[in-house]
């Protein structure tokens, strides 16, 4: 995005948000204006931008006191408008004119009638609007526009277009839904649009993570796009699955441009912060977690991680200190160990700029959220699968308790051949090599489905080990897989 600097008050474009109640707030480029009068019109002198620039206006109307028993101006749901003024010499251009609706208690998405717009433009041209009614951009933003530039540096017009965001669009908070048809129906019922994001997987290399993945909405949707062979490769045979996932996401959603991915991190964070949008929070969280998982950093993604660490440092500074505690309460606590993992895995990268950005982020995390960095080796949660411990124990003898062995044998002895319609398709020597696995097979399952269920449920240690061994040894051994 091009730099934004406050122009003279008689330059730039203007916006008008009419009929907002007293006590309402209007936020422009992150700066809040609280309305003290009921005759407010708008803001003038907003900088004209280049092709990649935009402004973001958020209106949160106050409920009139008579509707809430005189208890003060409580806020309603915030709504946003993206402003994309093109470079022009017409400094009196009205880039946006909207009106507050008492019926919905929101600023309406409908355009104001042409007569009102014409009269307003005429009064502006004649300087007939008092300063308290048409406020100058420079009085709101002053000299702090660089913060907005940094916060939106990678948000391009191309990215906004891909998220179906256009000039003047009314954006309302939304939440994530696994059903695309349900999302479309919800959009039709709203005065305004919620931003729809692509599913972002949150994966780990350990095959034992399958059960955890089944609870994550973005991961479930992503895995649904893969073939069984690709899913097997992802959980069992990929050397660096997190890197493969990142490459796949960059190609599929961001045209192989890491700048677009960073722009999506900035955009979703911006919408979450200013519109209190749960769907944007979840998308931001998943993008951050996905990048944090990558522990192999080829040279071509070093610039991505250098800027990512810098962006994350600035975003974390704006997060309340109890943010992670709230996420843990709701069960979404895998972001915290992801940040720990990021500080660990980037420590070995030999790049001066990246290390400077890493040091800054880790210091901020430790200062604001005590223990985030220092306890990396002692916390095991959603995103930490104890991969180091598993690697150390791969060559050790496997000790199975008597109870587990008896449970497995009882399952095998109580299962009739008719329960396994697929069982005879496997050679006898294979069935003898994996007796617990084939004993657990249900009649509606093929053996790969049984393996997936065993890894998902993890009710029997010996069953889990046989399922993992079967996938590694018998399902296309030695093959090379790619994730797309």
480 vs 442: which has the higher pLDDT: 442
Q: What is the pTM of this model?
A: 0.71
As a whole number, mean pLDDT of residues 248-267 equals 96
Angle at 441 between CA 438 and CA 446, to 5 degrees: 100
pLDDT at 75: 61
Reported as a pLDDT band with limits 50, 70 and 90, residue 214 is: low
**pLDDT of residue 422 exceeding 50:** no
As a whole number of angstroms, the distance between CA 355 and CA 353 comes to: 5
pLDDT at 427: 81
Reported as a pLDDT band with limits 50, 70 and 90, residue 143 is: low
As a whole number, mean pLDDT of residues 52-81 equals 75
**CA nearest 42: which of 89, 82, 91, 96?**
96
pLDDT at 420: 41
Q: What is the pLDDT of residues 341-355, one digit of tens each?
A: 899 999 999 999 999
**pLDDT of residue 219 exceeding 60:** yes
Determine which of 188-202, 395-409, 445-459 has the lowest per-residue pLDDT on average: 395-409
pLDDT at 204: 53
As a whole number of angstroms, the distance between CA 311 and CA 303 comes to: 12
Q: What is the pLDDT of residues 14-66, one digit of tens each?
A: 999 999 999 999 999 989 999 998 999 999 999 877 667 899 999 999 976 55
Q: What is the pLDDT of residues 355-408, one digit of tens each?
A: 999 999 999 888 887 766 654 433 333 333 334 444 444 444 444 555 554 555
Q: Are 357 and 302 spatial neighbours (Cβ–Cβ below 8 Å)?
A: no
DSSP one-letter code for 469: H
Determine which of 18-22, 74-78, 96-100 has the lowest per-residue pLDDT on average: 74-78
| Contacting residues for 121 by C-beta, under 8 A, at least 6 apart | 92, 94
Q: Which residues of 243-254 are buried (b: 16+ CB within 10 A; e: fewer)?
A: bbbbbbbbeeeb
Q: Output the CA torsion sign for 188, 193, 198, 204.
A: negative
As a whole number of angstroms, the distance between CA 133 and CA 120 comes to: 12
**CA nearest 307: which of 348, 346, 251?**
346
As a whole number, mean pLDDT of residues 438-454 equals 83
As a whole number of angstroms, the distance between CA 204 and CA 381 comes to: 12
Angle at 455 between CA 450 and CA 456, to 5 degrees: 95
Strand ranges (E), 189-310: none
Determine which of 84-88, 120-124, 292-296, 299-303 has the lowest per-residue pLDDT on average: 84-88
User: What is the residue-averaged pLDDT of the chain?
Assistant: 78
Do the strands 13-18 and 94-101 form a parallel or antiparallel pair, or are they unpaired?
A: parallel
**pLDDT of residue 472 exceeding 80:** no
Q: Are 12 and 53 spatial neighbours (Cβ–Cβ below 8 Å)?
A: no
As a whole number, mean pLDDT of residues 155-161 equals 92
pLDDT at 231: 79
pLDDT at 171: 95
Q: What is the pLDDT of residues 287-328, one digit of tens each?
A: 999 999 998 888 889 999 999 999 999 998 888 777 766 665
Kind plus residue range of the DSSP H or E element containing 241: helix 241-254
As a whole number of angstroms, the distance between CA 262 and CA 250 comes to: 11
207-390 under CATH 1.25.40, yes or no = yes
pLDDT at 366: 86
What is the side-by-side order of every strand in the sheet holding 55-60? 31-34, 25-28, 55-60, 79-83, 170-171
Which class is domain 13-143+165-171?
mainly beta
What ranges do the domains of the chain cover?
A: 13-143+165-171, 207-390, 402-474
Do the strands 42-46 and 134-136 form a parallel or antiparallel pair, or are they unpaired?
A: parallel
Determine which of 134-148, 241-255, 274-288, 406-420 has the lowest per-residue pLDDT on average: 406-420
Q: Are 365 and 343 spatial neighbours (Cβ–Cβ below 8 Å)?
A: yes
154 vs 397: which has the higher pLDDT: 154
As a whole number of angstroms, the distance between CA 448 and CA 231 comes to: 11
Q: Are 25 and 76 spatial neighbours (Cβ–Cβ below 8 Å)?
A: no
C-alpha neighbours within 13 Å on the C-beta side of residue 305: 32
User: Which segment, 24-33, 74-83, 224-233, 440-449, is predicted with the most confidence on average?
Assistant: 24-33
Helical segments of 127-190, H only: 137-141, 145-151, 157-162, 180-188
**CA nearest 283: which of 268, 304, 298, 300?**
268
As a whole number of angstroms, the distance between CA 450 and CA 473 comes to: 16
The residues that bridge with 57 in the sheet, in sequence order, are 28, 81
Q: Which residues of 466-478 are buried (b: 16+ CB within 10 A; e: fewer)?
A: bbbebbeeebeee
461 alpha-carbon distance from chain centroid: 35
DSSP one-letter code for 92: T
């Amino acid at each position: 995005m091009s730099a934004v600097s406050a122009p003279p008050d008689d330059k730039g474009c203007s916006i008008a948000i009419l009929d907002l109640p007293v006590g309402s707030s209007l936020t422009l480029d992150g700066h809040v204006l609280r309305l003290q009068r009921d005759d407010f019109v708008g803001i003038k002198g907003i900088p004209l931008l280049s092709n990649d620039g935009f402004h973001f206006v958020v209106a949160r109307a106050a409920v009139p006191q008579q509707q809430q028993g005189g208890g003060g101006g409580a806020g309603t749901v915030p709504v946003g408008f993206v402003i994309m003024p093109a470079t022009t010499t017409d400094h009196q251009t009205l880039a946006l004119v909207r009106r507050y609706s008492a019926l919905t208690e929101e600023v309406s998405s409908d355009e104001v009638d042409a007569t009102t717009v014409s009269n307003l433009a005429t009064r502006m041209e004649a300087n007939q609007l008092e300063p308290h009614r048409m406020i100058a951009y420079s009085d709101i933003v002053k000299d702090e526009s660089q913060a907005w530039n940094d916060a939106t540096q990678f948000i391009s017009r191309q990215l906004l277009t891909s998220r179906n965001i256009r000039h003047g669009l009314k954006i309302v908070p939304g939440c994530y839904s696994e059903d695309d048809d349900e999302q479309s129906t919800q959009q039709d019922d709203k005065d305004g649009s919620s931003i729809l994001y692509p599913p972002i997987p949150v994966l780990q290399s350990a095959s034992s993570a399958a059960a955890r993945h089944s609870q994550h909405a973005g991961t479930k949707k992503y895995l649904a796009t893969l073939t069984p062979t690709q899913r097997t490769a992802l959980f069992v045979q990929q050397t660096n699955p997190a890197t493969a996932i990142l490459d796949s996401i960059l190609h599929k959603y961001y045209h192989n441009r890491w700048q677009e991915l960073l722009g999506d991190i900035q955009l979703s964070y911006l919408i979450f912060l200013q519109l209190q949008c749960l769907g944007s929070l979840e998308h931001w969280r998943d993008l951050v977690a996905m990048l944090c998982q990558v522990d192999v950093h080829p040279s071509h993604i070093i610039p991505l991680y250098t800027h990512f660490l810098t962006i994350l440092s600035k975003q974390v500074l704006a997060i309340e200190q109890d943010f992670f505690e709230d996420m843990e309460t709701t069960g979404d606590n895998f972001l915290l160990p992801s940040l720990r993992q990021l500080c660990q895995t980037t420590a070995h990268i030999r790049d001066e700029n990246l290390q400077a950005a890493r040091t800054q982020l880790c210091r901020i995390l430790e200062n604001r959220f005590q223990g985030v960095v220092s306890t990396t080796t002692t916390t095991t949660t959603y995103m930490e699968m104890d991969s180091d411990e598993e690697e150390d124990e791969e060559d050790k003898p496997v000790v199975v308790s008597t109870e587990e062995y008896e449970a497995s044998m009882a399952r095998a002895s109580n299962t009739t051949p008719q329960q396994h319609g697929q069982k005879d398709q496997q050679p006898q020597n294979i069935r003898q090599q994996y007796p617990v696995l084939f004993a657990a097979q249900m009649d509606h399952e093929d053996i790969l489905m049984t393996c997936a269920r065993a890894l998902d449920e993890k009710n029997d240690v010996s069953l889990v080990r046989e399922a993992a061994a079967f996938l590694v040894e018998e399902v296309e051994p030695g093959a090379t897989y790619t994730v797309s």
